[in-house]
Chains A and B, each alone.
Chain A
Amino acid sequence: MSALAMGDDITVSSSAREPLLAIRDLRVEFGPVQAVRGIDLAVKAGESVAILGESGSGKSVTGKAIMGLINPPGVVRGSVRFAGSELVGRSEAELRPVRGPGLAMVFQDSLDALNPVFSVGEQIIEILTVRLRRQRGKARAEAIALMEQVGIPNAEKRLCDYPHQFSGGMRQRICIAMAIALKPRLLIADEPTTALDVTVQAGILKLINELQRETGMALLFVTHDLAVAREVAEHLVVMYAGRIVEQGPIDELFARPAHPYTRALLSSNPGSVRHWSDLQPITGNPPDKTTVYKGCAFAPRCPRAVAQCVEVPPGLRTIAEGRDARCHFAEEVLHAR
């Protein structure tokens, strides 16, 4: 707990050796639904990691599980270590000091995330007075500074406005202001721009990048959009059917994917071809969360699947410096043209 208490002074160098967030064999189940089927993940201090996946891949559930936001009947197993202390199995009271100065989260739906009956100012000030024991006057000034920091014009005037009086993009900025109010060491962003227009999205992504650079916090960005992931992250984690299928530095992953799923996602993206007839769609449907796979979960949709793929589950193995992939033929895929 001592490591968590010192949330305010973040020094990037101090935790360079040991990852800030270390997840081992994380599993999340909702009855027969296996949302997350065992993932290992490390986020170093100051690093920006994107988790990419389509619906049902378990990407959002992973983010929530790290925050301890999985409610019964959901069951979380495995280990989530944040700054040296275990988070899985902790009570709400024990997690409270970690949330805020340690971990903070921004959600997809900003209207849902804010309380409609309090002005945004009150909501930000409350965090500051309750958590940092600031005096009201000081907290108010700080709230205005925060709103300015996230790019809300006329911050002082708009302090008394209610969430519904803001546009979607501005609301998301307020959510970000609340998330960074306690100077978290890791910000988890769960599809924060999915509900927004492209021009607004660009602003939010830029803001997140800037904040990350200024404060040195680590970022875990959950998204389904390849291009968005590319804009914000250095490290990419691709999830499929509740497991990590590939991870590595994002530029390398985009240039030379080692998993057929990543490769297929890239070649089915409209941004990657010149004419629609060049699109190479992925066949079949996204995975079902209740299905138990004997072999590789992607095998039914994989263009290069062989008998072995259906029978033997591939493990996540290191195939190159800093690159992991969960495929029997990862090397072949990596070097294929």
Chain B
Amino acid sequence: MPAEERGEPVFRVEGLTKHFGSVVALDDINFDIAQGEILAVVGESGSGKSTLARTILRLLDATSGSIVYRGQDLLKLSPRQMRPVRRHLQMIFQDPYASLHPRRTVAELVSEPWRVHKSVLERRRWPEKIRELLGQVGLPEGYANYYPARLSGGERQRVAIARALALQPDLLILDEPVSALDVSIQAQVIKLLMRLQEEIGFTCIFISHDLALVRLLAHRVIVMHRGQIVEQGETQKIFDAPAHDYTRLLLDSSPSLAGEKVRRAG
């Protein structure tokens, strides 16, 4: 693919491999992401897409390979050196019922990143910024003192988004951000995320099994199967002319609103 058109990559993953005992979860993963790009990673459970996200963020230790973020190999950093870098790399998790601490209010949750990275924002400016963030994700200020238990799934995911944005990240990893939400809520959250991406311009890795969604959002797609990348390229190309058998199988399997596929073919 024409790399020069996409500009200097923000992120380059080379030969990334991860073993869990004898199981190979990630096998020689290579890709890069340009500034402001939305890269989708699709695959089924066990394909290694979630492991990939966690290895990139060093929530899991890679077995070998390199993850170069703006010229710096993250895998060579000590845990202590890694901590300040985390500011620029944020993640939104699949299940907002699990990713928010149950004993913390919305205001505490959103301000948590500033507590960790003290230099980002002085304490007296927190309230103002909390309000701004809640506004950005479309939550009323009155919710600042709520515990997650009182919020619906969609509202919780908005809190998680606000928390991720609190550090103005360079790269945001979205791990199935809407698949735990109700169907009527998913579009809300997707639109919010995409609007924010347009406004703020963060680079984005979007992990999903929902091909219909990926087609709408991603500039480029990586298809993963059993820990390997079987195909990667521009979204349009992959959807129009999948080169790999597995990609074709995925596309054929995903149910569509047009329907009929199973009934007629079966």
Residues in B whose Cβ lies below 8 Å from that of A201: 253, 255
**Bound Cα distance from A305 to B182, whole angstroms:** 22
Q: Which of A267-325 contact B (CB under 8 A)?
A: 268-277, 279-283, 285-286, 301
Q: How many A-B residue pairs have CB under 8 A?
A: 125
Does B184 count as interface, using CB distance less than 8 angstroms? Answer: yes
Distance (whole angstroms) from the CB of B148 to the closest CB of chain A: 14
Q: By the criterion CB–CB under 8 Å, are A271 and B184 in contact?
A: no
Query: Per-residue 0/1 for B47-83: is the Cβ within 8 Å of any A Cβ (1 yes, 0 no)?
Result: 0000000000000000000000000000000000000
Query: Per-residue 0/1 for B16-60: is the Cβ within 8 Å of any A Cβ (1 yes, 0 no)?
Result: 000000000000000000000000000011000000000000000
Given A270-B210, A276-B194; A286-B152 close (CB under 8 Å): yes
Q: By the criterion CB–CB under 8 Å, are A264 and B184 in contact?
A: yes
Contact of A199 among B44, B212, B266 (CB under 8 A): B44
Closest to A268 in B: B187
Residues in A whose Cβ lies below 8 Å from that of B216: 270, 273-276, 279
Q: By the criterion CB–CB under 8 Å, are A270 and B212 in contact?
A: yes
Does A202 count as interface, using CB distance less than 8 angstroms? Answer: yes
Does A224 count as interface, using CB distance less than 8 angstroms? Answer: yes
Q: By the criterion CB–CB under 8 Å, are B187 and A199 in contact?
A: no
Which of A23-31, A69-77, A137-145, A205-213 binds B? A205-213
Does B257 count as interface, using CB distance less than 8 angstroms? Answer: yes
**Bound Cα distance from A228 to B185, whole angstroms:** 18
Residues in B whose Cβ lies below 8 Å from that of A120: none
Query: Per-residue 0/1 for B177-199: is the Cβ within 8 Å of any A Cβ (1 yes, 0 no)?
Result: 00000111111101100100000
Closest to B194 in A: A276
**Bound Cα distance from A210 to B264, whole angstroms:** 11
Q: By the criterion CB–CB under 8 Å, are A225 and B155 in contact?
A: no
Residues in A whose Cβ lies below 8 Å from that of B260: 230-231
Of A254, A270, A279, the most chain B CB neighbours within 10 A belong to A270
**Bound Cα distance from A205 to B260, whole angstroms:** 12
Distance (whole angstroms) from the CB of A296 to the closest CB of chain B: 15
B: contact size bracket: 35 or more
Of B155, B256, B262, the most chain A CB neighbours within 10 A belong to B262
Contact of B257 among A197, A210, A272, A277 (CB under 8 A): A272
**Bound Cα distance from A206 to B260, whole angstroms:** 11
Does A227 count as interface, using CB distance less than 8 angstroms? Answer: yes
Given A54-B182, A226-B183; A271-B188 close (CB under 8 Å): no
Does B261 count as interface, using CB distance less than 8 angstroms? Answer: yes
Does A65 count as interface, using CB distance less than 8 angstroms? Answer: no
Given A197-B44, A198-B211, A276-B217; A230-B188 close (CB under 8 Å): no
Distance (whole angstroms) from the CB of A36 to the closest CB of chain B: 18
Given A201-B255, A270-B216; A285-B190 close (CB under 8 Å): no
Q: By the criterion CB–CB under 8 Å, are A202 and B253 in contact?
A: yes
Q: Which of B225-264 contact A (CB under 8 A)?
A: 249-250, 252-263
Q: By the criterion CB–CB under 8 Å, are A224 and B255 in contact?
A: no
Residues in B whose Cβ lies below 8 Å from that of A55: 182
Does B209 count as interface, using CB distance less than 8 angstroms? Answer: yes
**Bound Cα distance from A322 to B45, whole angstroms:** 40
**Bound Cα distance from A6 to B15, whole angstroms:** 64
Contact of A282 among B188, B254, B263 (CB under 8 A): B188
Q: By the criterion CB–CB under 8 Å, are A224 and B266 in contact?
A: no
Residues in A whose Cβ lies below 8 Å from that of B262: 202, 205-206, 209, 231-232
Query: Per-residue 0/1 for A182-201: is the Cβ within 8 Å of any B Cβ (1 yes, 0 no)?
Result: 00000000000000011111
Distance (whole angstroms) from the CB of A138 to the closest CB of chain B: 30
Residues in A whose Cβ lies below 8 Å from that of B182: 54-55, 224, 286
Does B96 count as interface, using CB distance less than 8 angstroms? Answer: no
Closest to A279 in B: B187
18 pairs of residues in contact across A and B, judged by CB atoms under 8 Å: A54-B183, A200-B44, A202-B254, A206-B262, A224-B182, A227-B256, A231-B260, A232-B263, A265-B184, A266-B257, A270-B190, A270-B213, A272-B257, A276-B190, A276-B216, A280-B187, A281-B184, A283-B188
Tell me the A residues contacting B by CB distance below 8 Å: 54-55, 197-202, 205-206, 209-210, 224-228, 230-232, 250-251, 254, 264-266, 268-277, 279-283, 285-286, 301
Closest 5 CB pairs of A and B: A230-B259, A227-B255, A268-B187, A281-B187, A197-B44
Tell me the B residues contacting A by CB distance below 8 Å: 44-45, 152, 154-155, 182-188, 190-191, 194, 209-213, 215-217, 249-250, 252-263, 265-266
